Amino acid sequence: MQEQLVIANKKFKSRLFMGSSRYPNHQVMLDSLSASKTEVVTVAIRRVSLKKYNENIIDVLKKKYFILPNTAGCFTIKEAVLTAELAREALKTNFVKLEVIGNDEDLLPDVENLIPAAKQLVKRKFNVLPYCNDDPLICRKLQDVGCAAVMPLAAPIGSGMGIQNQQNIKLIVQESNVPVIIDAGVGTASDVAIAMELGCDGVLLNTAVAEAQNPILMAKAMAEAIESGRNAFLAGRIPRRSIAKNSTTNKGRIHLIKKN
């Protein structure tokens, strides 16, 4: 898998983006990130505690990974834009994963506020990666306002249900001129492989690794799923058929001769 993922002129070898929350401890997180072979780690800046640890975990992560700040927990356009500006000031990056959610219960995107928030951030020279519904129309509108990628959910955040609407994801991939990165809802390696087989450019996940019984081993499985799924997509699968098709020809077939 030699090709690189390009987002806003920045190149990444790995197509697996990882979150940084819900791990049992920081050492398990660091070991899991290493096993995943990720290059990008997303962090909710305002939720990081700087008092609990002797060394700021962001400083630790910055030594090895590209930090993608996110606006997790924002409910309004104003909150999201302010959080993005604070992240840019703190991390010196124009990249932001934009989240504008409707409520704390289902954590689904609030599209009514998401699109204008994305538009404002693009005007402010951000490279915006919006977390959005698996809706081709919404993804097209986000692309049209200038987002650097679109990040449709597979299923609700943390649910582990996998891709619930493969047809919509296919349409988003087919119609998009920017990278499509599945964000939220994957539960295991097969979900990641399916996303990549559908033609997605990458997957962002967190809970599936952080809350696995063995996070480090699951992170390794996710990295392998990214690679195998991408290779399968590039190779081109056989068409689905409603009837069987023999894999060998009848040429040279042995026939029994019946005796009278």
CA distance 69 to 61: 12
Find where tokens 């990458």 sit. 202
Alpha-carbon separation of residue 46 from 1, 68, 119, 127 (angstroms): 36, 13, 23, 20
Contact 227, 5 (CB under 8 A): no
CA distance 130 to 140: 12
How distant is the alpha carbon of residue 1 from its chain centre?
18
Alpha-carbon separation of residue 70 from 40, 41, 100, 188, 256 (angstroms): 12, 10, 10, 23, 71
Which residues participate in catalysis according to the annotation? 97
